[in-house]
Amino acid sequence: MVLVGVSRGHNTDHAGDQPTRDQPVTRQPVTNDEVARAFADMATALELLGANRFRTASNSRVAREIRDMTTNLADLVNEDPATAVARLCALPGIGKGSAEKIVELMETGAMNEHQKLMAEVPRGLFDVLDVPGIGPKAARVMWQELEIESVDDLMAQIDTEAFRALPRMGEKTIANIKEAVAFRAQTASRTPIGQALPIAREIHEALAALPGVERAAYAGSLRRGEETIGDLDFLVSSSEPEAVAEFFVNAEGVTKVLAHGATKCSVRLERGRVAIQADLRLVPLEAFGAALMYFTGSKEHNVRMRERSIKRGMRLNEYGLFEGNEERPQDLGKAPVAAADEEAIYAALELPFIPPELRQGHAELDQPPTARLIELNDIKAELHAHTVASDGSMSIEELAQCARNRGYHTIAVTDHSVSQVIANGLDADRLRDHVDAVRAVAARIEDISVLAGSEVDILADGSLDYDDEILALLDVVVASPHAALRQDPEAATARLLKAIAHPLVRIIGHPTGRLINRREGLSPDMSALYRAAAEHDTALELNANSQRLDLRDRHVRGAREQGCAIALDTDAHREENFDQLVYGVLTARRAGLEPEGCINTWPAEKLHTWLRAGR
DNA sequence: GCCGTTTTCGGCCCGACTGTTTTCAGTCG
């Protein structure tokens, strides 16, 4: 791999990647993620260099737009290099300058501007900027005045006279930086939604139960259903706001109060292994909708909404939507056009209600959703679940009971295959017995369908872990990658394409094998997978387990654009795992998934017919 | 750097809080 100057997040240590003297240099196509990272790097470097903030913001936007694209930039450029710049310019947020840089990166494997900026700004300074409370101005002055180029440098100098002499650097600021660095060391990454949501629900309930509270909600990335959460945002309307604030800053697990104002409080919270910041906003009831919209974000969605308001001669802020363009209209005694609920604000701006999960700041205002998004109650089947036969904790009957409790019409028993030794995977003989056991249970149970299946390993070369004659015994085959998850993108693509094309495979389970914050997983050419899956009518799974969420949101969107069916399963190993479905549904909604696009919403007959097809 | 149904130049979203300041800059979301 010779992508000079742009960091590859994947497989950089993989044997055979380094070209030798005798080998011609062959370059793998540059991925969207790599392009997005390059632009994000440039934005950060520009910030630290004190560049025009609009130029900085522009690079950030390009990074975001590319990260969330559902098609490959490499395909777009290669299709016709001569017109690539013009076609890139048609994408939102990408102008001539960025388009040319993208083409340069695609064609040469490097981007001059990126390399120049990276040479100018020390990489360690990015980490300094990452410390909460240190912004571009502070990081820049530390760098310029004291040659601080990393967090280590910062901590080495923080107690010196010279550091204290920096502008706006007082006792409290220094103490806050020290604490922020220590806190950061302990919580390096964003919190997975599976850990954040239960905590948020608990706090939300407690806030809602306080005397005088009229309305309470959580907002932010959690309400938007992002896979990881930066901090928890709460919104409360109360006749006794001081008491609510007092409760919040003294809540269980609060380790530091970062702000305690009349309308905003901010704390650091530690619960179990989770350490996260939580913000509380106290808002008037009559402006609850405007505030909820504002604090739900995303930031980019809000910017678009405010721009749209300005175009219509209005002004939007967290107090409401107002006629005219005066600053702080809420202080002038003006009555808002809309404020109490989100629906009214969208309506006043001639938009349908946009569900929080879709507020990503992409095209949702230009092309508002028309179809209803999938909901928890739409799910009528679980097609990926384990029993004690492999590594689950439930018997076949208990699994069926879980499905019945949730009102499902179908449950598939899909234990691990033989290669999953650590998960007590079944060899062919055990699988035959297990299928008999499942059929025996199915015969006793009349109200729901219990299917005999398997989660069969897709081996590194794309072959399956059982022979076809064994697979043919099953009602449903979920094929999943579990091992060799560091193989290069070409091998991963070929491996998954082979499984997708297998006539007995109906579902590809957790296609990339990634684990959030822990394992990157495979990086196949997703567009190729979508096309093949659509062609062979093989469903791609959105694994709802909050550690997986694989496919991720943008993958589900890309798959649907190609007409691919989506399976939404919890991969349950124990009863409570069925509750993970909410994370899958949130992710699916972020992808704009309509119920019809998900096989688990189909009526029993339609689903069973589909499962039998091709065998 | 991007963008255009007031525009190809001159704009570019809005407010709260803290800490360092004597009226506000920086940071955050």
pLDDT digits (tens, 9 = 90+) for A529-538: 999 999 999 9
Looking at strand B, which nucleotides approach a protein CB closer than 7 A?
1-3, 6, 11-21, 25-29
Contact between A556 and A529 (Cβ < 8 Å): no
A21 touches strand B (CB under 7 A): no
A23-37, A374-388, A510-524: least confidently modelled range: A23-37
Q: What is the pLDDT of residues A459-492, one digit of tens each?
A: 999 999 999 999 999 999 999 999 999 999 999 9
Of the candidates A469, A520, A472, A530, which has an alpha carbon nearest to the alpha carbon of residue A497? A530
What is the pLDDT at residue A261? Answer: 83
Residue A17 lies in a domain: no
Query: Considering all CA atoms of chain A, what is the largest pairwise distance in Å, rounded to the nearest integer?
Result: 80
Q: What is the pLDDT of residues A125-148, one digit of tens each?
A: 999 999 988 999 999 999 999 999
For chain A, what is the domain count? 5
Q: What is the pLDDT of residues A295-338, one digit of tens each?
A: 999 999 999 999 899 888 899 999 999 998 888 888 888 899 99
Asked whether the CA dihedral A95, A100, A103, A105 is positive or negative, the reply is negative
Give the Cα separation of A502 and A477 in Å (integer): 10
Residue A452 class from Cβ within 10 Å (0-12 exposed, 13-18 middle, 19+ buried)?
Answer: buried
Residue A398 tokens, joined: 């208990």
A445 and A488 inside one domain:
yes
- Which of the four pLDDT bands, split at 50, 70 and 90, describes residue A11? very low
Q: Which residue is nearest to nucleotide B4 (CA to C1')?
A: A311
Q: What's the CATH code of the domain at A301? A: 3.30.210.10
- Which of the four pLDDT bands, split at 50, 70 and 90, describes residue A185? confident
A538 and A419 inside one domain:
yes
Residue A27 lies in a domain: no
CA dihedral A251, A254, A257, A263 (to 10 degrees): -30
What is the pLDDT at residue A13? Answer: 38
**Protein CA at A58 to nucleotide C1' at B12, angstroms:** 10
| Mean of all residue pLDDT scores within chain A | 91
What is the pLDDT at residue A428? Answer: 94
Q: Which of A166-180, A350-364, A445-459 has the highest mean pLDDT?
A: A445-459
Which residues of A in 79-118 have their CB below 7 Å from strand B's atoms? 89, 92-99, 113
- Which of the four pLDDT bands, split at 50, 70 and 90, describes residue A258? confident
Contact between A543 and A509 (Cβ < 8 Å): yes
A586 and A484 inside one domain:
yes
A352 and A469 inside one domain:
no
- Which of the four pLDDT bands, split at 50, 70 and 90, describes residue A26? low
A242 touches strand B (CB under 7 A): no
Q: Cα–Cα distances in Å, from A185 out to A132, A150, A179, A230, A422?
A: 12, 14, 10, 15, 33
Residue A12 lies in a domain: no
Q: What is the pLDDT of residues A508-543, one digit of tens each?
A: 999 999 999 889 999 999 999 999 999 999 999 999
Asked whether the CA dihedral A114, A120, A125, A129 is positive or negative, the reply is negative
Is residue A15 scored above 80 in pLDDT? no
What is the pLDDT at residue A25? Answer: 54
**Inter-axis angle of helices A526-536 and A553-561, nearest 10:** 50
Q: Which residue is nearest to nucleotide B20 (CA to C1')?
A: A168
Residue with tokens 């196509």: A29
Q: Cα–Cα distances in Å, from A442 out to A409, A449, A515, A575?
A: 12, 7, 33, 19
Which residues of A in 44-83 have their CB below 7 Å from strand B's atoms? 52, 54-55, 57-59, 62
Which residues of A in 515-574 have their CB below 7 Å from strand B's atoms? none
- DSSP assignment of A41-84, as one string? HHHHHHHHTT--HHHHHHHHHHHHHHHT-SS-HHHHHHH-GGGH
Give the Cα separation of A360 and A69 in Å (integer): 12
Is residue A43 scored above 90 in pLDDT? yes
Residue A115 lies in a domain: yes
Q: Which of A82-91, A177-186, A385-394 has the highest mean pLDDT?
A: A385-394
Domain end point (choices A102, A120, A138): A120
A10-24, A68-82, A582-596: least confidently modelled range: A10-24
Cα three-residue angle A125-A196-A485, rounded to 5 degrees: 70
A415 and A525 inside one domain:
yes
CB atoms within 10 A of CB A205: 10
Residue A231 tokens, joined: 């901090």
What is the pLDDT at residue A179? Answer: 87
Is residue A575 scored above 70 in pLDDT? yes
Domain end point (choices A159, A182, A205): A182
> What is the domain range of residue A315?
287-358
Is residue A366 scored above 70 in pLDDT? yes
Q: Cα–Cα distances in Å, from A608 out to A222, A383, A468, A604, A614?
A: 35, 11, 20, 6, 12
Residue A569 lies in a domain: yes
Q: What's the CATH code of the domain at A220? A: 3.30.460.10
What is the pLDDT at residue A287? Answer: 93
Is residue A244 scored above 80 in pLDDT? yes
Please tell me the pTM assigned to this model.
0.90
Q: Which residue has the higher pLDDT, A584 or A189?
A: A584
Q: Is the peptide bond before A298 cis (omega within 30 degrees of 0)?
A: yes
Residue A530 tokens, joined: 């979508």
A468 and A512 inside one domain:
yes
Contact between A274 and A191 (Cβ < 8 Å): yes
Residue A172 lies in a domain: yes
A100 and A147 inside one domain:
no
Q: Is the peptide bond before A376 cis (omega within 30 degrees of 0)?
A: no
Which three-class secondary structure state does DSSP give residue A405? helix
A339 and A217 inside one domain:
no
Residue A369 lies in a domain: no
A221 and A116 inside one domain:
no
Is residue A17 scored above 60 in pLDDT? no
A199 and A178 inside one domain:
no
Cα three-residue angle A202-A205-A210, rounded to 5 degrees: 130
A135 and A256 inside one domain:
no
What is the pLDDT at residue A326? Answer: 84
| Percent of chain A topping pLDDT 90 | 76
A175 and A199 inside one domain:
no
- Which of the four pLDDT bands, split at 50, 70 and 90, describes residue A553? very high
Residue A315 lies in a domain: yes
Contact between A446 and A436 (Cβ < 8 Å): no
Domain end point (choices A261, A282, A303): A282
Q: What's the CATH code of the domain at A37? A: 1.10.150.110
Average pLDDT over residues A244-255: 90
Q: What is the pLDDT of residues A425-466, one digit of tens each?
A: 999 999 999 999 999 999 999 999 999 999 999 999 999 999
A20-34, A410-424, A535-549: least confidently modelled range: A20-34
